[in-house]
């Protein structure tokens, strides 16, 4: 729908267009719409070295030399300025698109002129940026940025602005058009060169880079009216269809098993489809070799989100971040408008909540939002298994608790040492999320957030798992229960780990078994990272205690273990062999009750840890259930609303008691059985 017609027919669209107009006016009045003569660096370096939080970015600033941490630190240095310039270039490209959209919606030619000026200035400046001399050796180098990847993303925003202006009848004089044509030629040359390197020289066509190089070239070909070139890009090696076939698994999840990169690649696909549509080519219904599709990828996100609409931070990716929320909003708006996927409405609402966008007052809403009711509730969701990516979600109607577990591939350079990780969710709040990933320029990427101990799984003697793939031994979902048996045998030498997850309409059981084949006992460590305080009987330790975490490092190709200490705050005190705990959820009256079986020789302690990836400096408290032995059974039960009683009947059988019922659960060689 043309934006002017959208404003006429959808009441929210006119309000959104005026809000976007006000944003541009603010930037114009601040004098900040100035194209920098310097190229951008690597945005991941825009992180406080002390607090490991992302530094703040104010799009109204023009030429800063000092950069602020949310905690008040003032940071200086070339790397931080280079990272700031990435955000500045990206924000100016967004202003170009936003101004074009405001013109298309409201008809005020002043905003077309703002967009046109930025486009021409960037086109004139682009040849003056050098092929980046400061880029890291592993990067495909850009001009306007360290990375060609960042350049590809940025270019799609500029070219979409250019196309929207042309659609609305805005013309460019001969000199302006020459500058734009040179920009498009140079951009196409570098994108085609880097595609050749990735696809043919590195044999790495499935890389998420490829999707964005394709998206950038799709925009170039659309701008130049080159249908034949676009068709070749769609059909050729590493092109849209081929990348969809190899970059996405048959179960519709991006091959790295990262929610963030799933969104990242899907957004590139949707931009390519938007460009193809200009030639009457429909990529929205296109499928890969095993049925992969953009619709399927969007449905995966709708199923993966918690009941608040928040997406889990599986493997590398932020837990919450403004630019990421905008990316989620862009694809969710299209999922609703193009495919009518009502399950994306909560995802969209959460993205706008993170952006502080009351009434969806964002560019993504104006550009891609349709007439669908974005506030509508969606149908209750059932359990879902992603057998190829290696994720499973358990849901049962009537139980506000649900779970997400990870048993799949490591995830390559974006993977974490987290096999058999468990996320426990309540409909009002996720209790034990994956804590996310800090910007890659932070040392905590490797020293905490990728490590096993930062996840809700088992580690041995302070060391992380080896990169490996777990397996699903058994999965069964009915209307009254869902059972998943996950196994890992390659995380540690001679160690077999089995995690049994059983969700009924009233409670959830997590029975984690660990067995070592060697004669020597080790510290077997079960971790849980709740994001709200645990209410349980605790006693302070008389002597200062700490947990030793060992981080694998390589120095001159020599592998070493670097030790760091986490404080042990207190010891949990069980009663008659069972710890009773509870969690009062934030902004809710809901309480989750937790019963843990504590066998002789077990220890339960509270460990102070870094916070989540949004702000690692705001520490959290983890529950560590550990045992020094060759074998361990960690048995934990959760229930919403009221406490649950847990009794051990024998080594392989327990009783779970709730009001008016006692249920026996037995461990057999075929897994858990209710008796």
- Provide the mean pLDDT of the chain: 95
> Distance (Å, rounded) from C-alpha 250 to C-alpha 505?
30
pLDDT for 137 equals: 64
Q: What is the CATH number of the domain that holds 498?
A: 2.70.98.70
Percentage with pLDDT > 90 across the chain: 93
> Distance (Å, rounded) from C-alpha 590 to C-alpha 640?
7
> Distance (Å, rounded) from C-alpha 329 to C-alpha 356?
13
Is 70 exceeded by the pLDDT of residue 372?
Answer: no
Q: What is the mean pLDDT of residues 404-420?
A: 96
| Residue 206 included in any domain | no
Domain boundary pick from 109, 140, 158: 158
How sure is the predictor about 554, in pLDDT bands with cuts at 50, 70 and 90?
confident
The contacts of residue 259 (CB under 8 Å, 6+ apart) are 301, 304, 311, 312, 313, 314, 315, 317
**Checking DSSP bridges between strand 508-516 and strand 495-504, what pairing results, if any?**
antiparallel
Domain boundary pick from 158, 180, 201: 158
DSSP 246-300: HHB-TTS-BTT--HHHHHHHHHHHHHHHHHHHTTT---TT---TTS--HHHHHHH
Q: What is the mean pLDDT of residues 65-89?
A: 97
Q: CB–CB of 234/283 below 8 Å?
A: yes
The contacts of residue 462 (CB under 8 Å, 6+ apart) are 453, 523, 525, 547, 548, 549, 550, 563
> Distance (Å, rounded) from C-alpha 382 to C-alpha 477?
9
In the sheet with 534-536, reading across from the earlier edge strand, the strands are: 471-477, 481-488, 495-504, 508-516, 631-640, 591-597, 578-584, 534-536
| Residue 359 included in any domain | no
DSSP 592-657: EEEEEE--TTEEEEEEEE---TT-TTS-EEEEEEEEEESEEEEEEEEEESS--EEEEEETTEEEEE
> Distance (Å, rounded) from C-alpha 568 to C-alpha 609?
9
Domain boundary pick from 158, 189, 212: 158
DSSP 154-211: HHHHHHHHHHHHHHTT----HHHHHHHHHHHHHHHHHHHHHHHIIIIIS--TTSHHHH
322 closest CA partner among 42, 39, 94, 24: 94
| Residue 240 included in any domain | no
pLDDT for 95 equals: 98
CA dihedral 250, 411, 273, 90 (to 10 degrees): 170
| Residue 365 included in any domain | no
CA dihedral 333, 338, 344, 350 (to 10 degrees): 0
How sure is the predictor about 541, in pLDDT bands with cuts at 50, 70 and 90?
confident
Q: What is the number of domains present in the chain?
A: 2
pLDDT for 377 equals: 60
How sure is the predictor about 176, in pLDDT bands with cuts at 50, 70 and 90?
very high
Long-range contacts of 347-352 (CB under 8 A, 24+ apart): 347/301, 347/302, 347/305, 347/309, 347/311, 348/309, 348/374, 349/309, 349/374, 349/375, 350/305, 350/308, 350/309, 350/310, 351/309, 351/325, 351/326, 352/325
> Distance (Å, rounded) from C-alpha 663 to C-alpha 509?
12
Helix 11-29 vs helix 109-125: angle between axes, to the nearest 10 degrees? 50
How sure is the predictor about 378, in pLDDT bands with cuts at 50, 70 and 90?
low
Is 70 exceeded by the pLDDT of residue 524?
Answer: yes
Instruction: Choose between 544 and 441: higher pLDDT.
Output: 441
Q: What is the CATH number of the domain that holds 35?
A: 1.50.10.100
pLDDT for 587 equals: 82
Q: Which residue has the tokens 């705990």?
A: 581
Q: What is the mean pLDDT of residues 223-243?
A: 98
Region at 420 (left for phi over 0; alpha for psi -120 to 50; beta for the rest):
left
493 closest CA partner among 524, 467, 523, 516: 516
- The Cβ of residue 225 has, within 10 Å, a number of other Cβ atoms equal to 10
DSSP 292-332: --HHHHHHHHHHHS-TTSPPP--SSS-SS-HHHHHHHHHHH
Q: What is the mean pLDDT of residues 473-488?
A: 97
| Residue 186 included in any domain | no
20 closest CA partner among 367, 436, 535, 422: 367
- Say what the pTM is: 0.97
- pLDDT tens column, 424-444: 999 999 999 999 999 999 999
**Checking DSSP bridges between strand 391-394 and strand 384-386, what pairing results, if any?**
antiparallel
Is 70 exceeded by the pLDDT of residue 634?
Answer: yes
| Residue 221 included in any domain | no
Percentage with pLDDT > 70 across the chain: 97
Report how many helices (DSSP H) and strands (DSSP E) the chain contains, helices first.
15, 25
Alpha-carbon distances of 411 from 139, 291, 384, 457, 613, rounded to whole Å: 19, 22, 20, 17, 19
Residue 167 dihedral angles phi and psi, to the nearest 5°: -60, -35
422 closest CA partner among 452, 380, 462, 465: 452
Q: What is the mean pLDDT of residues 236-256?
A: 98
How sure is the predictor about 375, in pLDDT bands with cuts at 50, 70 and 90?
low
Alpha-carbon distances of 563 from 50, 462, 625, rounded to whole Å: 19, 9, 20
| Residue 644 included in any domain | yes
| Residue 151 included in any domain | yes
C-alpha angle with apex 599: 597 to 602, nearest 5 degrees? 105
Is 90 exceeded by the pLDDT of residue 326?
Answer: yes
647 closest CA partner among 638, 639, 637: 637
Give the helix/strand (H/E) hosting 9.
helix 3-9
Q: CB–CB of 31/51 below 8 Å?
A: no
Domain carrying residue 585: 384-674
Region at 666 (left for phi over 0; alpha for psi -120 to 50; beta for the rest):
beta
């Amino acid at each position: 729908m043309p934006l002017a017609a959208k404003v006429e027919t959808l009441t929210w669209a006119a309000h959104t267009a005026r809000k976007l107009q006000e944003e541009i006016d603010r930037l114009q009045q601040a004098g900040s719409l100035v194209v920098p003569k310097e190229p951008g660096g690597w945005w991941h370096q825009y992180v406080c070295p002390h607090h490991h939080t992302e530094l703040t970015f104010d799009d109204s600033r023009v030429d800063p030399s000092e950069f602020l941490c949310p905690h008040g630190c003032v940071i200086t240095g070339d790397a931080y300025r280079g990272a700031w310039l990435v955000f500045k270039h990206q924000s100016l490209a967004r202003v170009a698109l936003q101004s074009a959209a405001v013109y298309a919606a409201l008809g005020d030619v002043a905003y077309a002129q703002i967009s046109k000026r930025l486009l021409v200035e960037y086109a004139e400046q682009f040849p003056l940026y050098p092929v980046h001399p400061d880029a890291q050796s592993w990067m495909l180098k850009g001009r306007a940025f360290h990375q060609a990847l960042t350049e590809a993303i940025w270019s799609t925003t500029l070219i979409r602005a250019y196309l929207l202006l042309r659609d609305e009848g805005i013309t460019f004089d001969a000199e302006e058009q020459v500058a734009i044509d040179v920009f498009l030629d140079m951009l196409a040359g570098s994108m085609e060169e880097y595609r050749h390197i990735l696809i043919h020289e590195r044999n790495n066509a499935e890389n998420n880079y490829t999707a964005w190089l394709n998206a950038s070239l799709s925009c170039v070909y659309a701008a130049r009216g080159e249908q034949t070139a676009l068709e070749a890009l769609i059909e050729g090696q590493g092109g849209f269809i081929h990348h969809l076939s190899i970059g996405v698994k048959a179960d519709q999840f991006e091959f790295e098993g990262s929610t963030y990169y799933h969104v990242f690649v899907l957004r590139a696909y949707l931009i390519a489809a938007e460009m193809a549509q200009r030639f009457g080519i429909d990529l929205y219904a296109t499928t890969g070799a095993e049925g992969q599709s953009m619709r399927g990828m969007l449905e995966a996100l709708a199923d993966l989100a918690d009941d608040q609409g928040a997406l889990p931070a599986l493997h590398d990716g932020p837990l919450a971040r403004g630019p990421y929320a905008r990316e989620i909003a862009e694809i969710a708006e299209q999922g609703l408008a193009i495919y009518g996927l009502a399950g994306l409405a909560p995802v969209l609402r959460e993205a706008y909540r993170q952006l502080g966008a009351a009434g969806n007052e964002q560019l993504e809403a104006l550009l891609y939002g349709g007439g669908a009711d974005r506030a509508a509730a969606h149908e209750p969701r059932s359990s879902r298994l992603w057998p190829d990516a290696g994720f499973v979600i358990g849901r049962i109607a009537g139980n506000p608790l649900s779970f997400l577990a990870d048993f799949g591939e490591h995830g390559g350079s974006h993977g974490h040492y987290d096999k058999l990780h468990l996320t426990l969710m309540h409909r009002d709040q996720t209790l034990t999320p994956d804590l996310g990933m800090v910007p890659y320029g932070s040392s905590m990427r490797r020293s905490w957030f990728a490590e096993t101990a930062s996840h809700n799984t088992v580690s041995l003697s302070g060391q992380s798992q080896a990169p490996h793939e777990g397996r699903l031994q058994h999965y069964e979902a009915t209307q009254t229960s869902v059972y998943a048996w996950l196994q890992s045998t390659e995380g540690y030498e001679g160690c077999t780990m089995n995690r049994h997850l059983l969700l009924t309409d009233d409670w959830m059981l997590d029975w984690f078994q660990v067995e070592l084949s060697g004669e020597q006992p080790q510290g077997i460590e079960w971790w849980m990272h709740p994001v709200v305080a645990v209410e349980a009987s605790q006693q302070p330790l008389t002597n200062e205690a700490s947990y030793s975490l060992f981080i694998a490092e390589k120095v001159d190709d020599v592998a070493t273990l670097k030790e760091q200490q986490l404080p042990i705050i207190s010891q949990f005190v069980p009663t008659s062999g069972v710890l009773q705990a509870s969690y009062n959820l934030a902004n809710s009256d809901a309480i989750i009750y937790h019963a843990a079986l504590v066998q002789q020789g077990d220890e339960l302690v509270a460990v102070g840890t870094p916070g989540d990836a949004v702000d690692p400096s705001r520490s959290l408290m983890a529950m560590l259930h550990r045992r020094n032995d060759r074998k361990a059974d960690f048995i934990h039960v959760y229930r919403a609303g009221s406490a649950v009683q847990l009794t051990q009947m024998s080594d392989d059988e327990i009783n779970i008691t709730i009001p008016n019922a006692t249920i026996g659960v037995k461990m057999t060689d075929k897994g858990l059985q209710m008796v």
